[in-house]
């Protein structure tokens, strides 16, 4: 039946994170005690003040189609948020609210990219970037970063990757999957390279902005020469534990925002009304209201780094944000564990699922096949138990005969 489907869908890969979660669910349903560390989803409940705003919106009958680009008072709250947290001035006509940051990014791809355009993706990159770029018929140009450079692209690497076809650079900071956070100086270094190429645009995905253990988030749009050509992406899924509410947004030049609104008007008609009303409460609250979650992620980060550091063969950077570790486990390649040959990170992640009952995600899905991604958006007990199981499963490694 595949032949009846479009090339577009046949050429698209299934989201590896969702596929791993589905596999873990299947094993769990068949009675296995699986610890799921594969999903990028906070394990907290939505704060009560946000729930109250949603309940109020239902009672106030927010049930009609909202404006395609978002309610005016939500856009005003986003404008204020950009000023307060990022020192960025985006007027109301520069903001578009969408069905999650994922749709915000897909909108940008659809309205900015043509066939043959190149999009530079520093790897590891967020799992969906590559397929979204391909869906827009553009070409992903993967630039592999190194653990020694904390998985960040250097100005030199960026300079070398640019060709006359380069249209955009997409990256996330804090980064999913590496947890790396770009400093002001590092972003200035990239901006310096881009200065010579005024037609290259940047998607700056800042959805993990608040989950930052250095406490200093920098938006590249605030750097000299970058404002007009940066699309700043954000949303409420991660910091406010609102993944299911599906609200994301962009701040961008008004002509880009207008194009995204036009596109979205034909695809979804806009983001869900109750989620938008709840987002107003989330964004207007002082950031201190969610600091208990950030503190928890920070202590879990320290815990998981300590525990993984005790396992031979796991090479780690120190993630300064988000809620993932991205260990290089390539030292296991070519070895056998419990009789299973490990050729690559996908084998390793599958081995951990079957022999440690722990779900992780292969780094191949993020453009780095030497690593796996482990999410620590889980309780301390789960983290301790999961790493204990992983340690047991990978010790006693025998060389291949």
Ligand X SMILES: Cc1ncc(COP(=O)(O)O)c(C=O)c1O
Binding site for ligand X (CB under 6 A): 40, 100-102, 126, 172, 176, 205, 207, 235, 237, 243, 248
The number of beta carbons lying within 10 Å of the beta carbon of residue 83 is 12
**Burial class (CB within 10 angstroms; exposed 0-12, middle 13-18, buried 19+) of 228:** exposed
Torsion sign across C-alpha atoms 97, 41, 146, 132? negative
User: Which one, 102 or 167, has the nearer CB to ligand X?
Assistant: 102
Between 248 and 369, name the residue whose CB sits nearer to ligand X: 248
Residue 330 CA to residue 147 CA, distance in Å, equals: 12
- Is 283 within 8 Å of 363 (Cβ atoms)? no
Q: Do the Cβ atoms of 94 and 252 come closer than 8 Å?
A: yes
Contacts 24+ apart (CB under 8 A), 191-196: 191/220, 191/223, 191/224, 191/225, 191/226, 192/155, 193/155, 193/158, 193/159, 193/162, 194/158, 194/169, 194/225, 194/226, 194/229, 195/225
Contact 253, 228 (CB under 8 A): yes
Q: How far is the CB of 312 from ligand X (least distance, A)?
A: 30
Give SS3 for 235: strand
Least distance CB 340 / ligand X (angstroms)? 30
| C-alpha–C-alpha distance, residues 125 and 143, integer Å | 10
Residue 54 CB, nearest approach to ligand X (Å):
17
Between 243 and 346, name the residue whose CB sits nearer to ligand X.
243
> Given the complex with ligand X, which of 17 and 157 has the nearer CB atom?
17
For the purposes of burial, counting CB atoms within 10 Å of the CB of 173, is it exposed (0-12), middle (13-18) or buried (19 or more)?
Answer: buried
Select from 241, 367, 221 the least CA-distant residue to 294: 241
Cβ proximity to ligand X, 166 vs 237, nearer residue? 237
Residue partners of 276: CB distance under 8 A and separation at least 6:
62, 66, 70, 71, 74, 97, 247
Sheet holding 324-325, edge to edge: 324-325, 372-375, 361-362
Taking the complex as a whole, how short is the minimal distance between the CB of residue 121 and ligand X, in angstroms?
12
For residues 100 and 122, which CB has a smaller minimum distance to ligand X in the complex? 100
Choice between 94 and 98, CB closer to ligand X? 98
CB of 141 to ligand X, least distance (A): 18
Q: Provide, rounded to whole angstroms, the least separation between the CB of residue 31 and ligand X.
A: 29
> Could you tell me the smallest distance in angstroms from the CB atom of residue 183 to ligand X?
18
Q: Which is nearer to ligand X, 101 or 256 (CB)?
A: 101
Residue number, nearest CB to ligand X: 100
- 243 vs 382 by CB, closer to ligand X: 243
For residue 123, give the H/E element and its range. Answer: strand 118-123
Residue 320 vs 351, nearer CB to ligand X: 320
The contacts of residue 61 (CB under 8 Å, 6+ apart) are none
Show the tokens assigned to 279: 């987002």
Minimum separation from the CB atom of position 334 to ligand X (A): 31
Least separation, in Å, of the C-beta of 162 and ligand X?
23
Sign of the CA dihedral with 297 first, then 298, 300, and 305 last: positive
| Smallest distance from ligand X to CB 250, Å | 11
């Amino acid at each position: 039946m595949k032949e009846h489907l479009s090339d577009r869908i046949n050429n698209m890969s299934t989201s590896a994170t969702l596929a791993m979660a589905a596999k873990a669910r299947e094993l769990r349903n068949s009675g296995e005690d699986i610890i799921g560390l594969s999903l990028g989803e906070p394990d907290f409940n939505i704060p009560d003040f946000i729930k109250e705003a949603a309940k109020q919106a239902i009672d106030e009958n927010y049930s009609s189609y909202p404006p395609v680009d978002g309610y005016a008072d939500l856009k005003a709250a986003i404008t204020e948020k950009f000023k307060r947290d990022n020192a960025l001035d985006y007027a109301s006509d520069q903001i578009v609210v969408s069905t999650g940051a994922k749709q915000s990014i897909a909108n940008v791809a659809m309205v900015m990219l043509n066939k043959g355009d190149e999009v530079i993706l520093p790897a590891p990159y967020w799992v969906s970037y590559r397929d979204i770029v391909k869906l827009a018929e553009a070409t992903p140009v993967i630039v592999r970063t190194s653990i020694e450079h904390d998985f960040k692209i250097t100005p030199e690497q960026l300079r070398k990757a640019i060709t006359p076809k380069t249209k955009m650079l997409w990256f996330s900071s804090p980064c999913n999957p590496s947890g790396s956070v770009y400093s002001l100086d590092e972003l200035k270094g990239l901006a310096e390279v881009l200065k010579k190429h005024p037609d290259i645009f940047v998607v700056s995905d800042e959805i993990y902005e608040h989950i930052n253990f250095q406490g200093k988030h920098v938006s590249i749009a605030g750097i000299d020469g970058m404002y007009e050509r940066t699309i700043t992406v954000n949303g409420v899924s991660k910091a406010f534990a609102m993944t299911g509410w599906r609200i994301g947004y962009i701040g961008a030049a008004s002509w880009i925002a207008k194009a995204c609104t036009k596109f979205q008007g034909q695809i979804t008609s806009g983001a869900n009304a109750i989620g938008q009303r709840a987002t107003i409460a989330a964004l207007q609250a002082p950031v201190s209201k969610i600091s208990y979650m950030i503190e928890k992620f920070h202590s879990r980060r320290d815990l998981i780094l300590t525990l993984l550091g005790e396992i031979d063969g796991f090479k780690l950077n120190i993630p300064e944000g988000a809620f993932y570790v991205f260990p290089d486990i390539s030292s296991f390649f070519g070895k056998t564990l419990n009789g299973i040959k490990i050729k690559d990170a996908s084998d390793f992640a599958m081995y951990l699922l079957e022999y440690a009952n722990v779900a992780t995600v292969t780094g191949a899905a993020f453009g780095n096949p030497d690593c796996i991604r482990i999410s620590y958006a889980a309780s301390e007990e789960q983290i301790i138990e999961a790493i204990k199981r992983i340690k047991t499963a990978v010790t006693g490694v025998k060389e291949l005969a």
